[in-house]
Amino acid sequence: MPKKIPVLDTNVIIRFLTSDSPLQAEKVEDLLKKSEVGSLVIPDLIVAEIVYVLLSFYDLPKEEVVVKLGALLDYAKFKTNKKLLKKTIEVFSENNISFSDAYLCALNLIGKHPYIYTFDKKLEKIEKVIVRTP
């Protein structure tokens, strides 16, 4: 049976990325110091929520959010869906689309799904993404 690994909530990662609450940021730092490599899971849904919070509530520019996400995925203590999320970040940074649309494109681009059913014309313009209208 595989080892069970704890999952991190959005607010913990936000404290880590912004240090906007010094006491909470310190607690997160302590958690990270005592954690082993790959011992903390950040689910894809939480990554999407992190993007939303940083763009909307913190009003950070998209470029800064992309940099923070890249650093997050490269941090060894976090276990993530790295290949898919890195491709998502790449598509998100290069196109004027939402993070969730970039995620769908990344699923197609890394070969997990053969095409995307959508009415969204923006996705048709993204290089190598295969879309179909239902």
What is the model's pTM? Answer: 0.92
- The answer as to whether 15 is a domain residue is yes
Model confidence pLDDT, tens digit, residues 18-57: 999 999 999 999 999 999 999 999 999 999 999 999 999 9
Per-residue pLDDT tens over the stretch 86-105: 999 999 999 999 999 999 99
The boundaries of the domain holding residue 129 are 94-134
Answer yes or no: do 64 and 103 share one domain. no
Q: For residue 134, give Cα distances in angstroms to 21, 56, 112, 115.
A: 46, 31, 19, 11
Same domain, 76 and 29: yes
> How many structural domains compose the chain?
2
What six digits make up the tokens of 69?
């996400």
- Asked whether residue 73 falls in the same domain as residue 99, the answer is no
2 vs 83: CA distance, rounded Å: 21
Residues 16 and 56 in one domain: yes
Residue 16 has pLDDT above 90, yes or no: yes
Q: Is the per-residue pLDDT at 2 higher than 90?
A: no
Q: Taking Cα atoms as reference points, which of 100, 88, 94, 80 lies closest to residue 126?
A: 94
Say yes or no: 7 and 41 in one domain: yes
